[in-house]
Chains A and B, each alone.
Chain A
């Protein structure tokens, strides 16, 4: 550890810290563009200039490692003059088109210009332009506008050091240099939108979000991506009940600063609700109904079947349900009603990977296509394997009277007609559904439910970490969350109180569900960081947590990895 004094405040930081981070630890904000905690240090934006006692020349604080007893003057006249100079240089060729730039509001150049820039521009020279390299697509998700680029090379370093794909490079030299893809290549990798995340200005933006919403109008909810079992922490950014985008939230134990494009661009899909009321289908007629009648019909069907044979009811949960929802499902059907078959099926999806130096091997890998198979198992829902009721239903050796599907998208096979035909052999098919698919079309009783953005709960990710996702948008009227549906249904057996919230369910179950003992609903460990991994705030979080307790995160990850390894 090294004691460093910054503007009169002394802090103790690890020896490997650079002066920029030490300043942050001391509460002194040193603005910067090219520095990123996960990318190699190039020291070329020259924004983070500070004075260091005993060093004659002004220094770029990101490039200087701390030394015990170092005295840093981060806010001296000389340091501020140097930063003002850099800002002036950055702005003389910047188009200053903030009103039509999508980065406005979350732009580091804008922030620093407002905070420290000169009130007027001293230049009258024509500004540099890059005809042919402005507003141009460079990949499936990213649009580049080189007139706005400040040549910080973060995106280049992201592509060479994090994604390892190296599509981007500086072309030309000096004032004419610009970032572009190599000849004939596209910026097309699994994390390409992170290159736009690390861009401090509006030079790289994503096609999906571009011009959709001014960022300052967006409300944010801390959530967890449900695209795979990694469970990347995301910020659901929404406005007026519309989800506009996901941004990765920093979580050093899970997704670090990143998330994959597949997960990120699931965001807008959360907006769709094809059903606004429960639907009953009987003898070829379809009618919308109210919740009371629909849930009564479910109870009647289940009761009738159970009175004959409890094994004639098959309840299919899902690795996409929260642990709370899975627990309610297991409690209600296995416990109260006495159904033996409460199962879920987890698909293996395309392998998703996130680079994280805290994870052994450096990469966190997600193979299952759903976020919460571990939570479902812990809550008492059995994984459907060989010989399970689901397997027997599919091979034709078992026909349930009632098939209760708590998630219409529990497997990718719901688009397979043969698969659906097998499920339809059940006399009564109850389905929780949001988007139309073959299974919702076949349902006898369809219960409309909300998307991830409309509910809250916890997932258990691939490392065994319990992560909470928060409510982003209130679902449309009449549409209920899976949790509410189960509570209201349980009320019909006097099992649950419909007033329970997800938190109340969490508190009830945490004593009995493995991995949940001692967890606190509102603890930082569960909800993660507020900050999104956007360039403005990314490293604050890293620093705060690392400085608070450097060993904590690594220990947690090592422990979780150990447990996960034991299971396999």
Chain B
């Protein structure tokens, strides 16, 4: 492991890393040129690029960990899709709390992303690809646009790229700052100029996505991996990582109570304790309490549960959480769990798109209850009710998985740190009495509510 050399982040510290010249000097666009040249001789075909990506075992870095090559094969073949174009969307709407890996790639090495997109476009017969970038990342959008301009000027994009006969356009589209637009179908709606509401699936985007055309949505880091796979081959990529199903280099976003928070690149499946060591250990040498291993939508794991877990898709799933976007949020013993969960609940109440009833109504309800509990106005039954309300929001109750994400912190933190929630309730102003002052309802109603709850 010690001989691992950074791949995705290799150029991040370099001077002028965003410039085309330095990128090319570092061997950039070699794969793009190679594939385009090979396409004339028949050495490289779209199917071959897809096969290489498939063979690499690359799984989507956006959160779900779906095999990228397989996702590409879901696009209907030309004879089936008729005149409809295929679109490639790069999901740069990085908005999962705790995640900041794509941003650094965008801001420090944009050509890496562009080359990944070009190669994916070749594999998918895409003529126009889009980068949907989070609205807040203005700086990143400017850098991407500058990089795209450079690429056009160098003939790497546009009509008849490098004389290969292939046309490819690339457009940056800025979102308007909604978390849900990172969900691929909401992203598609937003790109079409509509409200960012996730779509009912099926049909999946590969069949009917943006403007009802076959669409592939890939994460920034995933597309960067594609570039490196084409540079160095599937076997090299497969050689990195814990096992056949969890391959390649991975960017981990470590935040919270560690000495040196930041983005760390490591082979897929690095054990948590090794990653923690890379980050200089726990801040102030304090004790580890809990970790959210994959962004705020991933279930929380206690110190004992996480410490030996290999941080890859299957490893974290085996610990009953998920790697997600690999946003490792580390919490030490000083963390007040109810407050942490309240903070996360606030985020989800704010970001629910409002389409589905359980999510639209449930996320603010959870937040209101949690807020009341940490304000010292909780009642005994509230803790159980949090679990019940969260329990009736997810698992198919909504169109997308936002609700499942929103309830994960509640459903994982309460059983694991129940005594902390109960402590708030017992020291509350009116423990066991169902009359929160904030609600301002009469005691009669409160009594009836209490009866109803206990019956």
A interface with B by C-beta (< 8 Å): 41-47, 49, 56-60, 63, 81-82, 85-86, 88-90, 92-93, 118-126, 128, 150-151, 170, 172-177
Contacts and interface: CB of A to CB of B under 8 A. Distances in A.
A121 B399 CA distance: 26
Considering the complex of A and B, which 9 residue pairs feature the smallest CB-CB distances, nearest first? A57-B396, A120-B452, A85-B392, A89-B361, A174-B352, A125-B368, A177-B354, A174-B354, A175-B364
B356 A44 contact: yes
Interface string B381-407: 000010000001101111100000000
B397 A85 contact: yes
9 contacts: A43-B200, A57-B396, A59-B396, A81-B392, A82-B397, A86-B358, A92-B365, A174-B353, A174-B363
Given A42-B355, A58-B397, A122-B385, A174 B360 contact: yes
B358 A174 contact: no
B399 A125 contact: no
Contacts of B397: 46, 49, 58, 82, 85-86
Given A81-B392, A86-B358, A89-B358, A124 B200 contact: no
A183 B14 CA distance: 50
What interface size band does chain B fall in? 35 or more
A122 B353 contact: no
A126 B349 contact: no
Nearest to A56: B396
Nearest to B403: A46
Contacts of B372: 125
Q: By CB atoms of chain B within 10 A, which of A49, A58, A120, A175 has the most?
A: A175
A43 B358 CA distance: 12
Given A85-B397, A121-B452, 11 more contacts: A44-B357, A47-B357, A58-B397, A85-B393, A93-B361, A118-B452, A125-B368, A151-B357, A175-B352, A175-B354, A175-B361
Contacts of B195: 170
B63 interface: no
Contacts of A173: 178, 351-354
Contacts of A120: 448-449, 451-453
B153 interface: no
B304 interface: no
A229 B247 CA distance: 71
Q: By CB atoms of chain B within 10 A, which of A82, A124, A151 has the most?
A: A124
Contacts of A119: 452
A124 B446 contact: yes
B434 interface: yes
B310 interface: no
Contact of B369 (A93, A118, A125, A128): A125
B83 interface: no
Q: By CB atoms of chain A within 10 A, which of B355, B362, B368 has the most?
A: B355
Main secondary structure of the interface of A (DSSP, over half): loop
Given A49-B397, A174-B363, A174-B364, A124 B436 contact: yes
A95 B356 CA distance: 19
Q: By CB atoms of chain A within 10 A, which of B395, B397, B435, B452 has the most?
A: B397
A175 B200 contact: no
A565 to B, nearest CB: 35
A232 to B, nearest CB: 33
A120 B455 CA distance: 10
A122 B200 contact: no
Given A43-B399, A44-B356, A46-B398, A124 B452 contact: no
Interface in B400-455: 434-436, 438-441, 446, 448-449, 451-453
A148 B358 CA distance: 17
A169 to B, nearest CB: 8
Nearest to B381: A122
A176 B363 CA distance: 12
Contact of A122 (B360, B441, B449): B449
Interface string B317-338: 0000000000000000000000
A150 B357 contact: yes
Contacts of A44: 355-357, 399
B11 interface: no
Contact of B365 (A41, A82, A125): A125
B358 A46 contact: yes
A19 to B, nearest CB: 13
A566 B36 CA distance: 63
Contacts of A118: 452
Contacts of A172: 354
B350 interface: yes
A124 B371 CA distance: 13
A75 B398 CA distance: 19
Contacts of B435: 124
Contacts of B357: 44-47, 86, 89-90, 150-151
B48 to A, nearest CB: 36
A150 B360 CA distance: 10
B449 to A, nearest CB: 6
Contacts of A92: 361, 365
A121 B449 contact: yes
Contacts of B369: 125
Contact of B439 (A86, A93, A126): A126
Nearest to B453: A122
A124 B441 contact: yes
Contact of B200 (A41, A58, A82, A151): A41
Interface string B177-196: 01000000000000000010
Nearest to B452: A120
A174 B399 contact: no
A125 B439 contact: yes
B128 to A, nearest CB: 27
